[in-house]
Amino acid sequence: MKKTVNIYLIIIASSLIFSCGTKESLPISKYYDYDRELPLKDTLTQADSMDTYTMQHIDYYSIHNKKVSALLSIPKNIEKPMPVVILLHGVGDRKTVDYIETGHEYFIKSGYAVFRIDIANHGDRKEDEYEVSFTDGYKYWTRDLITQTVFDLRRGIDLLSTISEIDSTRIGFYGISLGGFTGTVFCAVDKRVKVPVLALAGGGLNVMFGLDALSDEALDYVSIIDPINFVEMINPRPLLMINAENDDIVPPFLSKRLFEKAKGTKEIIWYNAKHHDVPIDKVYQDGINWYKKYL
């Protein structure tokens, strides 16, 4: 009898061992979890006083011990704490590129603080001269560039939450091109962003793999960076998309796919233009109108 019991216990133990293995995968949104308690080690390196706003140059540390150089502009003569717009540029550019400076001025004049960083390996953070590509060459380096920036933006909100002039319950996001692609993921996983605006972005990155678009390799590769996998998580927050009907960089059907996948309060505005020819003043005013309504 004792021998029978021992055998029975061995069988149970063996079953538990083999059934308690780790999961093969985790929800893609969980990929961007991190320890908020990690010190930001933020430093104010410079403060400029302009006629209508002050600009703070702030360095802080993100996940993977990456240093991020940020610009925070705070309008003068505006009741504080005030809402803030996180503004993110496109591929190959920087946080002070001309069209971002234009947006910065529009938001400041409308009474919003503006927070800007460089996408990983861009601007002040440039380390390598590799070409950004999702299908050739350094595609995993490219993917890491996007995922790192999502973490950097999340840590940016951690920083903004420590600044008394900023109302951390009223955070908007405005991303353009790659900034919009990256921003979709960022806004989806970080609920502290209350009102996202995505300009010249789309979803369904696997189509770039052509005939291999539905292969496991293609789908696995884009899983953690494809806006199409994240945009539903933005609901119930109000989403505005702004796109170009004749976009020669981001195919319009990718933008339509992303909009269709989004849930809840949403709107899409189309301009009869190419990617680099959209009327920038109108595009920013669209965002401001959206923020005035919802932020």
Q: Roughly how many angstroms between the first and final C-alpha of the chain, as a whole number?
A: 72
pTM reported for the whole predicted model: 0.91
Ranges of residues in the chain whose predicted pLDDT is under 70:
1-26
Strands 43-49 and 53-61, by their bridges, are antiparallel
Distance CA 18, CA 31 (A): 25
Under 8 Å CB-to-CB from 214, ≥6 apart: which residues?
206
Per-residue model confidence (pLDDT) at position 129: 81
Per-residue model confidence (pLDDT) at position 123: 94
Under 8 Å CB-to-CB from 255, ≥6 apart: which residues?
200, 201, 202, 203, 241, 243, 247, 268
What tokens were used for 21? Answer: 């293995």
Per-residue model confidence (pLDDT) at position 25: 56
Per-residue model confidence (pLDDT) at position 62: 98
Per-residue model confidence (pLDDT) at position 24: 52
Single out the residue of 162, 170, 56 nearest to residue 115, CA to CA.
Answer: 56
Q: Which residues pair with 271 in a beta bridge?
A: 244
C-beta of residue 182 within 8 angstroms of C-beta of residue 146 = yes
* Fold (topology level) of 30-294: Rossmann fold (3.40.50)
